[in-house]
């Protein structure tokens, strides 16, 4: 990997993010009243998208917002402008990563699901997000925040609304933990701005639909598992190289499974909620390939997993895949609405680096002269991989990410040498089950928790 | 981001949360498996309430915290960590090494009043909502939004 290509400024990035920041600042006091003289806020967003197809709509929305008269459609327009700016940042950053990783990226067009009917729940979600924008982070109280609960509860049973439901659920929990807003000294402005605008855009009918554009037949070679979670949801995403049976070029794909969960099911307990729905978790955990037949896939390279289209294949060690197959694999495009720096997660294989841990425990890989911060906090507690193992490693399968202004790496697996023997340790090793003592204990605790709750639910829920 | 809850045994107190300006939750009855108590302590005033899910007042919650409320406070400290609970309740207890009993007695010493806001029904419905999270089917369509929610090794 040409890590040096990740260094250096990205042209236009600061300007784009300054406009984003100006808008985010306006959300502190909220958009209910006219913006104080001398503050740029929404106007900066409008200026930043001048000359784009969004310009007219955003200019109108910004003017209304500046006057304290913005309606819901105006909020959507502002969210769209903010998202478009992040889209441009995403594209510039991803180009850098592709150059550094020597990765070819496809040029498919991601189809848009047009003409979706407006759903009442989307309207309700938009109303809640609009309330937030009006009251501002400073005006947050339990009453405003709790407005999300009913919408989320109504959306969760419908899998087609899961994206928005899961986002709002995590966002509302975070806001609730910060109430009342008036007592907060600092706000996570960028983050809440991200969650707010993302939610707003997902209230546009059809925005959350990722159409299946084909099927995958061939061999799937797992690289590693990325786990994401908030209090009441978890997702496991397997990054893999797919070798088509027709002999065409191998490509990078993902396969995901996600589930809403009670906040008391934590750690290794999340695996048992997801495991029964994706045989790939066990295969990835055990270092096996899978053979796919007619597996639905989107233009973004997301397999829409269904066990009936997959059967266990030969053993396939992830580090062999990373050394041999990964360099030749092409990467998929990102759907227009998903273009955001937080979405950047490019699988890479790193070796020949030196590691350094500073006084604050921050781990850095020096790769080809460039310092890459290792995001050890992202290593899930529900697995055998530890920051210590990463610090002693000689090779790493990771995801290149961009956070807080710089590139870093999230380790998915490392090779360490113990008594002259090279051993691989995977973050997702417990996905299919584990005999590890700590892991088994955590699973048992989660089983017990789920059992108690199910028993309570059985007695109380349907009365 | 909010650090994840710490694992705890749920048999006695299946539900606890810091919400709506209260530490609130549901405590299993020791004698009747079909009955639960809905208990709460308000932020700042420590006004307390305890009643069954059928709205019968708890016999133990006359004048001060009953055992259910004591159990609720204990489990909240286990799940969220003492600092977060102390901060949320605005209790006059050291954030550091407070346990549930210490926190309860700190609040009790202010001679809190019974809560008259009748929040039990809403707490119970929040508990039912919580239980429903076990009933939602997993999906294998990707949730790109989860990229905004990385895991953390920090604990509450
Ligand atoms: Zn009681």
In this structure, is residue A443 part of a structural domain? Answer: no
Size of interface A-B (CB pairs under 8 A): 188
Q: Residue A97's closest CA among A380, A303, A370?
A: A370
Burial tier of B131 (Cβ tally within 10 Å: 0-12, 13-18, 19+): buried
Q: Are residues A173 and A218 in the same domain?
A: no
| Peptide bond between residue A96 and the one before it cis (omega within 30 degrees of 0) | no
Using DSSP's 3-state secondary structure scheme, residue A462 falls into coil
Partners of residue A459 in chain B, C-beta under 8 Å: 33-34
d(CA A277, CA B156): 29
CA A129 to chain centre: 20
Q: Are residues A19 and A94 in the same domain?
A: yes
Q: Which of B9, B28, B145 lies at the smallest CB-CB distance from A163?
A: B145
Distance to chain B for A334, nearest Cα, Å: 11
Q: Quote ipTM for the complex.
A: 0.95
Partners of residue B19 in chain A, C-beta under 8 Å: 142, 146, 176
Q: What is the pLDDT of residues B99-153, one digit of tens each?
A: 999 999 999 999 999 998 888 888 998 998 888 898 899 999 999 999 999 988 8
Report the residue of B52, B145, B148, B150 to disrupt the A interface, i.e. the one with the largest count of A CBs within 10 Å. B145
Looking at the structure of chain A, the number of domains it has is 3
- CATH number, domain of A391, equals 2.40.50
d(CA A283, CA A237): 13
> What tokens does A335 get?
């759907």
Containing H/E element for A19? helix A13-29
> Average of pLDDT values for A187-191?
96
Burial tier of A213 (Cβ tally within 10 Å: 0-12, 13-18, 19+): middle
Q: Are residues A148 and A174 in the same domain?
A: yes
Query: B145 and A448 in contact by Cβ < 8 A?
Result: no
pLDDT at A463 over 60: no
In this structure, is residue A457 part of a structural domain? Answer: no
Q: Are residues A247 and A364 in the same domain?
A: no
User: Please, what is the Cα angle at A213 between A209 and A217, to 5 degrees?
Assistant: 130
Q: What is the pLDDT of residues A270-314, one digit of tens each?
A: 898 999 999 999 999 999 999 999 999 999 999 999 999 999 999
Q: Are residues A251 and A197 in the same domain?
A: no
Interval between CA A259 and ligand 1 midpoint (Å):
34
Which chain B residue shows the shortest CA-CA distance from A145?
B20
Q: Which residue has the tokens 């290149």?
A: A400
E-strand ranges in B2-150 read 15-19, 22-28, 36-42, 48-52
What is the bridge-based pairing of β-strands A406-418 and A370-374? parallel
Query: A229 and B139 in contact by Cβ < 8 A?
Result: no
Q: Are residues A24 and A126 in the same domain?
A: yes
Q: CA neighbours within 13 Å on the CB side: how many for B152?
A: 13
Interval between CA B89 and ligand 1 midpoint (Å):
19
Tell me how far CA of residue A333 lies from CA of A103, A300, A338, A401, in angstroms: 12, 5, 10, 16
Tell me how far CA of residue A393 lies from CA of A317, A405, A427, B128, in angstroms: 17, 26, 14, 46
Q: What is the pLDDT of residues A223-274, one digit of tens each?
A: 999 999 999 999 999 999 999 999 999 999 999 999 999 988 888 888 989 9
Q: Are residues A18 and A151 in the same domain?
A: yes
Q: Which of B4, B79, B129 lies at the smallest CB-CB distance from A149?
A: B129
Strand partners, A400: A346, A409
pLDDT at A333 over 90: yes
Q: Hey, what long-range contacts does A123-128 have (CB within 8 A, 24 or more apart)?
A: A123/A203, A124/A150, A124/A151, A124/A154, A125/A151, A125/A155, A125/A164, A125/A168, A125/A199, A125/A202, A125/A203, A126/A72, A126/A75, A126/A76, A126/A200, A126/A203, A127/A72, A128/A168
Q: Who's near B73: CB < 8 A, 6+ residues apart? A: B23, B41, B65, B85, B100, B103, B104, B107
Give A34's DSSP letter.
Answer: P
Q: What is the mean pLDDT of chain A?
A: 93
End-of-domain residue from the set A277, A309, A328: A328
In this structure, is residue A459 part of a structural domain? Answer: no
Contact of A227 with A428, CB cutoff 8 Å = yes
Burial tier of B106 (Cβ tally within 10 Å: 0-12, 13-18, 19+): middle
In this structure, is residue A431 part of a structural domain? Answer: no
In this structure, is residue A415 part of a structural domain? Answer: yes
End-of-domain residue from the set A176, A202, A228: A202
Report the residue of A457, A458, A459 to disrupt the B interface, i.e. the one with the largest count of B CBs within 10 Å. A457
Contact of B34 with B16, CB cutoff 8 Å = no
Query: A260 and B133 in contact by Cβ < 8 A?
Result: yes
d(CA A217, CA A309): 9
Partners of residue A194 in chain B, C-beta under 8 Å: 148
Q: What is the pLDDT of residues A416-453, one digit of tens each?
A: 988 889 999 999 999 988 888 888 888 888 888 888 88
Q: Are residues A352 and A272 in the same domain?
A: no
In this structure, is residue A441 part of a structural domain? Answer: no
Q: Are residues A221 and A191 in the same domain?
A: no
Q: Are residues A256 and A282 in the same domain?
A: yes
Strand partners, A263: none
Which chain B residue shows the shortest CA-CA distance from A173?
B2
Interval between CA B30 and ligand 1 midpoint (Å):
11
Distance to chain B for A181, nearest Cα, Å: 13
In this structure, is residue A256 part of a structural domain? Answer: yes
Tell me if chain A has a CB within 8 Å of the CB of B116.
no
Q: Hey, what long-range contacts does B83-86 have (CB within 8 A, 24 or more apart)?
A: B84/B18, B84/B156, B85/B18, B85/B23
Query: B7 and A449 in contact by Cβ < 8 A?
Result: yes
Cα dihedral A235→A236→A239→A245 (10° resolution)? -100
Q: Are residues A53 and A168 in the same domain?
A: yes
In this structure, is residue A454 part of a structural domain? Answer: no
End-of-domain residue from the set A202, A222, A244: A202
- pLDDT for residue A277: 93
> Average of pLDDT values for A370-378?
94
- Computed on alpha carbons and rounded to an integer, the radius of gyration of chain A in Å comes to 23
pTM (2 d.p.): 0.94
What is the extent of the structural domain holding A303? Answer: 212-328
Q: Which of A258, A264, A378 lies at the smallest CB-CB distance from B138?
A: A258
Which residue intervals of A365-436 are DSSP H helices? 387-391
Q: Residue A128's closest CA among A151, A109, A156, A108?
A: A151
- pLDDT for residue A324: 96
> What tokens does A389 get?
């193992």
Report the residue of A184, A216, A263 to disrupt the B interface, i.e. the one with the largest count of B CBs within 10 Å. A263
Query: B140 and A256 in contact by Cβ < 8 A?
Result: yes
d(CA A456, CA A454): 5
Distance to chain B for A140, nearest Cα, Å: 12
> Average of pLDDT values for A365-393?
93
Which letter, b or e, does each residue of A271-298 get, where b requires 16 or more Cβ atoms within 10 Å of its Cβ? bebbbebbbbbbbbbbbbbbbbeebbbb
Q: Are residues A345 and A324 in the same domain?
A: no
> What tokens does A198 get?
């993302």
Give the pLDDT band (50/70/90) at residue A59. Answer: very high
Contact of A241 with A329, CB cutoff 8 Å = yes
Q: What is the pLDDT of residues B87-113, one digit of tens each?
A: 889 998 876 678 999 999 999 999 999
Contact of A268 with B156, CB cutoff 8 Å = no
Q: What is the pLDDT of residues A65-118, one digit of tens each?
A: 999 999 999 999 999 999 999 999 999 999 999 999 999 998 888 887 766 767
């Amino acid at each position: 990997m040409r890590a040096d290509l990740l260094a250096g400024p990205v042209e236009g990035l600061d300007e784009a993010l300054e406009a984003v920041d100006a808008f985010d600042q306006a959300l502190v006091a909220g958009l209910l009243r006219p913006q104080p003289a001398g503050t740029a806020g929404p106007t900066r967003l409008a200026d930043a998208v001048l000359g784009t197809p969004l310009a007219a709509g955003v200019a109108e929305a910004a003017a209304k917002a500046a006057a304290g008269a913005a309606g819901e459609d105006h909020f959507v327009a502002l969210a769209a402008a903010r998202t478009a700016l992040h889209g441009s940042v995403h594209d510039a950053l991803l180009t850098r990563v592709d150059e550094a990783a020597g990765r070819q990226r496809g040029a498919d067009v991601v189809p848009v699901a047009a003409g979706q009917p407006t759903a009442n729940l989307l309207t309700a979600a938009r109303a809640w997000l609009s309330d937030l924008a009006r009251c501002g982070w400073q005006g947050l109280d339990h009453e405003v925040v709790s407005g999300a609960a009913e919408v989320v509860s109504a959306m969760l049973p419908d899998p087609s609304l899961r994206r928005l439901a899961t986002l709002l659920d995590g966002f509302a929990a975070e806001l609730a933990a910060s109430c009342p807003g008036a007592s907060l000294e600092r706000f996570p402005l960028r983050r809440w701005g991200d969650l707010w605008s993302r939610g707003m855009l997902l209230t546009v009918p059809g925005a959350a639909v990722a159409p299946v554009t084909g099927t995958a037949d061939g061999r799937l070679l797992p690289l590693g598992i990325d786990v994401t979670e908030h209090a009441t949801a978890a997702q496991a995403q397997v990054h893999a190289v797919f070798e088509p049976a027709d002999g065409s070029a191998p490509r990078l794909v993902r396969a995901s499974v996600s589930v809403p969960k009670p906040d008391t099911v934590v750690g290794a307990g999340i695996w048992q909620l997801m495991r029964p729905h994706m045989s790939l978790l066990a295969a990835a955990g055990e270092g096996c390939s899978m053979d796919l037949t007619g597996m639905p896939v989107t233009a973004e390279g997301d397999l829409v997993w269904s066990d009936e289209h997959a059967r266990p294949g030969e053993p396939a060690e992830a580090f062999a895949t990373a050394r041999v197959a990964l360099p030749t694999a092409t990467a998929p495009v990102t759907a227009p609405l998903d273009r955001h720096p937080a979405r950047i997660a490019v699988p890479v294989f790193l070796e020949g680096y030196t590691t350094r841990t500073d006084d604050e425990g921050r781990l850095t890989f020096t790769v080809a002269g460039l310092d890459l911060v290792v995001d050890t906090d992202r290593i899930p507690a529900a697995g055998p991989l530890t920051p210590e193992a990463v610090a002693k490693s000689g090779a790493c399968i990771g995801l290149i990410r961009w956070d807080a202004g710089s590139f870093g790496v999230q380790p998915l697996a490392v090779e360490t040498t113990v008594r002259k023997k090279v051993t691989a340790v995977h973050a997702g090793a417990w996905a299919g089950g584990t005999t590890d003592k700590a892991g088994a204990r955590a699973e048992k605790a989660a089983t017990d928790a789920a059992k108690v709750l199910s028993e309570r639910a059985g007695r109380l829920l349907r009365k | 981001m909010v650090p994840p809850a710490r694992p705890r045994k749920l048999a006695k107190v299946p539900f606890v949360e810091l919400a709506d300006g209260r530490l609130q939750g549901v405590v299993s009855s020791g004698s009747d498996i079909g009955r639960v108590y809905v208990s709460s302590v308000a932020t700042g005033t420590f006004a307390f309430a305890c009643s069954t899910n059928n709205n019968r007042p708890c016999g133990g919650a006359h004048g001060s915290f009953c055992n259910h409320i004591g159990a609720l406070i204990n489990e909240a400290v286990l799940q969220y960590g003492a600092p977060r609970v102390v901060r949320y309740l605005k209790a006059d207890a050291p954030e550091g090494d407070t346990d549930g009993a210490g926190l309860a007695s700190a609040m009790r010493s202010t001679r809190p009043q019974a809560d008259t806001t009748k929040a039990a029904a809403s707490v119970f419905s929040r508990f039912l909502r919580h239980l429903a999270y076990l009933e939602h089917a997993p999906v294998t369509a990707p949730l790109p939004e989860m990229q905004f929610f990385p895991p953390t090794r920090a604990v509450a």
